[in-house]
Structure formats: C-alpha cells, structure tokens
Structure 1
Amino acid sequence: MNQLADLHTHTIFSDGILSPTELFTKAKEVGLSAIAITDHDTMDGYLASIHIAEELGIQLVPGIELSCYENARDYHLLGFFQDPDNPNLKKNLELFRHEREKRAERIVNKLKRHNIDVNFNDVLDKAGVAPVARPHIAAVMIDQGHSPDIKKAFDQYLSYGKPAYEPKWNFPVELGVKLLNEAGGVAVLAHPGRYLPQQILANFIQQGLDGIEVIHPSHSEETQNYYKSLVDHYCLLSTGGSDFHGSREYDATNFGKFAVPVSSIEAIQSFLKH
C-alpha cells in the first residue's frame, strides 16, 4: 500500500480550527502516514504536534507557510525541515507577529472612527495562540453585533480599499527564501495558481527557491501538469497537500485526497544532504 503524506496543513496556531491533537487524530482516520504542519508565519503548531505525532505513529515534518511579497503581489512560501530554534528565523517570526499586532491595532482604531467600537484585547483573545489577523477582528465584530458575518465585515470595512483596511507586513520573497535556507530548510512556492509566468519563477529560482507545490486543491489537472513540467525543467522539488484548515466545506473531503507519496519527504531530505 502506498504511504501518503499531506505537506500543507494548518492548526489553531494560525488560521486552522483544529488543535494538533484533533488534526493528527483525523489524519489517522483518513490513513495518512505523514503530515507537515505549515501554519502561517509560526512554527508553534509544529512544536505542539511533536508528542501527538509520536503517540499516533504519524511522521511529522517541520513546516511553515511564510507570507511574502514580490512586486506588490502576495506569495506564500512553504518551508520544510528548517530549525525552529534558528536565531535569525525566530527573530524574524517574532518581528512578524509584532507587526501583525500593530496592524490589527491600527485597523481597530480606524473602525472606532467609523463608530465600530471593537476592543483590541478582545481581538487578541480571539486570536489566541495564532498571529492576529483580520478574520479575528471580523469575528469580534460579529460577536459584538457590528456585522452579521465575516464576508460582510470584509466587504464593508476590512478588505482592500475599504474604510478600515491596513496593508499587511510581509517578508520579501528573497528574504523568506534566505531565512528558510539558512535555517536548514527548503523553500517551496505554495499554490502558485494558474500558469505563473516562467520569468517570475526563474527570478524566484535565482533567489534560491527550491521547489513548487504542484498538488493543491486549487490546481486543476492541467495546472498540475504545467507545474510538473516546470519542476522537471528546472530540477526543482515537487510537493503537495490539501491546505487543510478545517473551516471550509471542502476540507473534509480534501483531507487525505490531496496528498503525495512519502517519497516526496525523502526527496526533500536527500536534497538537503547535497
């Protein structure tokens, strides 16, 4: 039987709704042999998963999903096998969390100027162990009766161009790649979507990019084949996963379905040795 791995999952330590214990229990149920915890801009979810992974006999891959930008466009980098105790990586992740808190506070102040009195401490409580983000603000707005649902909160106040919007602080792609590589990990471009131009990919490779997430729920078979051809052409790593959060209708059916052979993990480890 082919052993499968999901190399893209999220927990309550970013924007997922399951604890590490709940996620690994679910992974056991769907027959996964390995998981990478790739919470946004933190490795706390990975660290909190070590014990339960050992207990359930599921291989745990150290992971993260870094929020990055290039030419005013957002990109995400998946990191695998980087050392969570690397001083420079830790320093930059702490900076990221601090900048996100400052951004959230600016959003809350803008909301107050529009007579939406949201308490910043309530937002921090809603975020819990995760880096604070706009969905946490939206959730407090709903709790306090300022908005009927998250979509309305974003459409009226929080989205780009709306009254309380604040640009987010992200890592430049080159810095993100460097942080992951220097911490002993690989940098993989997450869910690049339909036909990322080759010149952009070539630029990322020059900056040290190691791979592409080929298998992802947003990638059609045609898109997967496109990225497979680029992986082969540039001799890159190929990864894949469900991008599981637990909060979306399709998460339950995608978990265990969008997976890659465990040999993909071995390929990353082999790459890091050379």
Structure 2
Amino acid sequence: MRHLLPTPADLHLHSTFSDGTESPTEVVQRAAEAGVRTLALTDHDTVAGWEEAAVAARANGLALVSGIELSAKHRGRSVHVLAYLPDPSSPALARLMARVRDDRVGRAERIAELIALDFPVTWADVLAQRAGDATVGRPHIADALIAAGVVAMSEEAFARILHPAGPYYVGHDAPDPGEVVRAIDGAGGVSVIAHPAGRGMLPDDVIRSLIEDGLGGFELGHRENTPAGVAHLERIVTAHDLIVTGSSDYHGAAGKPNRPGEHTTAPDMLERIVRAARGTEPVLA
C-alpha cells in the first residue's frame, strides 16, 4: 500500500559511503534539524548506506526514499542520474554499480600515484581517509592533501591539484546515460537527471532518447543550475509531463557548502515518484 510522504522533501544527500563527510545517521540528523521530513540518501553507485539510513530515519521521525546517484558519461562529459526506489538486486543495475566502483578505485589510485611524484601523499594516506569500506574517490585524495598540509581545504585541492585541466587528472570509465536510465527502469526505479542545467547540458536529441528509454524527470531545484537552462528544461518537462525535483546535494558540513533543505521537491512530485516506483518501498517514520 502506498502512503503520502511528509514534506519538505530533500531527495539528494550523500554520506561517507561515497563522497560525503558524515555517516548516514549524521546525514539524517542534519536533515531533521533543517526541518526536512522526507529525504533520499543517494550515494554514488552504492546502496551500502541504505540500512543505516533507514534505522536513523525511523529514529528521527523522517521518511526515507532510498536512492543512488549513478555515474554516466556523454561525449566525455559526466552525467549523473539519480535512481529512486530501485531494486538493488536487479542484475543490470548491480553490474553497472560494480563496474563504476571498480573503475573509480583504479582511477583514484592512478591519480594518487601521479600526485605522490610531487607531494608527500601516498595511496595509503588516501585509504586512511575513507570510512569503513566506502569506495575511494577524489574527495578522499583531497582529504589526504589536507591532512598532509598541502592544501587548507577541499575547494583548494580541487581548484589546484585535482582540477580536470591539471597534470594529475585521470579520466574515468562510465556507461552512457541511456544504459543507466534503462537499468534503473528495469530495476523498478525512477530516474532523474541530477543538476541537469549546470556545467553543460545534454543536447535535446539525447534528452528525447532518454525519455524514450524511460527517463522520469529532472532535478531543476539545485544550486548549480542556471536560470536559462532551467527555463529550457521546463519547456521539455511540460511537453512530456516529466517529474521535477529539488534537492540540496548535501555532502556534509565539512564538504560542499550545500545545506539540507535549501531546495526541496513539491509534494505532488514526491507522490509521483512513489507511485511510479516498482522496486523498493519508502521507509516510513
């Protein structure tokens, strides 16, 4: 049986199971303190934080929409696709997540090896920054650089040493967005393109193809989106009756400046996600 979920709803938050700085329990607590009533934990290419988040959500009186932020790439540009309430045991979805996680670890190690040629940071130092068995990524390298005194903060690490145009950058493998959207749909989830109107937008012909593949909607409420980009995508949303979400993309108090609840999802859109999903039920308070 489906239930109306309480709002405000923030449907994009990260924990230490990917590139956040706080545990799922702490993320839920920060969301509750900000007045959020329904949240989605959407760690990158993993569902490892779902169980802890569910326990914390019940303890704090919040509803939880279990999610994932899946990595994709179109013509060399990263595209992130949010998956809401999918069945994580779906073979196609599980294979995609494993593929990207494995590549992310190898990529991080290659970047660390290059950085170690010029700075006092080793792969062991990077591994020491992750929590538990979280997948290692560039944020952990940034933390290692901070711990070594090379930079003062994460933003400096990404602007100076981890910048894509810099000498230490290593590209990564990722499936195309269509493959990701189809895998989410096959797992009974609802797919939403994250921050789609920010640094470069997908061409309209690609968007049309994704809609045919089962794309559910766009995250139009996000601090990285531009007004012009949002206006363009709103026209597509109206023409195809797509879902619109708003989210914080919270990475922890010590992570990005994003804060829980700074953008939220309208009640009717939240209900559309819950009604469309066939993979996993939301966790109720």
1:215 alignment partner in structure 2: 221
More divergent stretch after superposition (15-24 vs 73-82): 15-24
* TM-score with structure 1 setting the length: 0.87
Equivalent residues of 1:34, 1:262 under 8 A apart: no
Shift of 1:48: 2.1
Shift of 1:91: 3.0
CA distance in 1, matches of 2:148, 2:228: 45
1:172 alignment partner in structure 2: 176
Q: Name the SS for the 1:44 alignment partner.
A: coil
218, 238, 260: which is aligned to 2:244? Answer: 238
Q: Using CA pairs under 8 Å that are at least 6 residues apart, name the structure with larger relative contact order, 1 or 2.
A: 2
266, 269, 274: which is aligned to 1:261? Answer: 266
Shift of 1:148: 4.5
1:90 alignment partner in structure 2: 94
1:78 alignment partner in structure 2: 82
**1:53-74 Cα distance to aligned partner (Å, 9 max, x none):** 1222211101111121112211
Equivalent residues of 2:86, 2:277 under 8 A apart: no
- Letter of the structure 1 residue corresponding to residue 134 of structure 2: A
Q: How does 1:108-127 map to 2 (within 5 A)?
A: 108-112=112-116, 114-127=117-130
1:57 alignment partner in structure 2: 61
Q: For the structure 1 residues 232 and 152, does the alpha-carbon distance in structure 2 shift closer, same or farther, using more than 3 Å as the test? A: closer
CA distance in 2, matches of 1:174, 1:148: 39
Is the counterpart of residue 15 in structure 1 residue 40 in structure 2? no
Is the counterpart of residue 29 in structure 1 residue 33 in structure 2? yes
CA RMSD of aligned residues (A): 2.4
Q: Name the SS for the 1:127 alignment partner.
A: coil
Q: Name the SS for the 1:64 alignment partner.
A: strand
Shift of 1:36: 0.8
Equivalent residues of 1:28, 1:56 under 8 A apart: yes
Unaligned stretches of 5+ in structure 1? none
More divergent stretch after superposition (163-172 vs 149-158): 149-158
More divergent stretch after superposition (150-159 vs 86-95): 150-159
Shift of 1:170: 2.1
* TM-score with structure 2 setting the length: 0.84
1:251 alignment partner in structure 2: 258
CA distance in 1, matches of 2:160, 2:263: 34
CA distance in 2, matches of 1:126, 1:96: 20
Q: How does 1:196-215 map to 2 (within 5 A)?
A: 196=201, 197-215=203-221
Shift of 1:187: 1.2
Shift of 1:225: 4.5
Q: For the structure 1 residues 269 and 136, does the alpha-carbon distance in structure 2 shift closer, same or farther, using more than 3 Å as the test? A: same
Tell me the matched-pair count.
269
CA distance in 2, matches of 1:158, 1:250: 18
- Letter of the structure 2 residue corresponding to residue 209 of structure 1: L
2:3 alignment partner in structure 1: none
CA distance in 2, matches of 1:96, 1:102: 10
Is the counterpart of residue 191 in structure 1 residue 195 in structure 2? yes
More divergent stretch after superposition (14-23 vs 62-71): 14-23
Q: For the structure 1 residues 3 and 150, does the alpha-carbon distance in structure 2 shift closer, same or farther, using more than 3 Å as the test? A: closer
2:9 alignment partner in structure 1: 5
CA distance in 1, matches of 2:195, 2:124: 33
Shift of 1:110: 1.9
Q: How does 1:124-143 map to 2 (within 5 A)?
A: 124-128=127-131, 129-143=133-147
**1:189-221 Cα distance to aligned partner (Å, 9 max, x none):** 111115945333223223332211122223366
Structure that is richer in helix per residue? 1
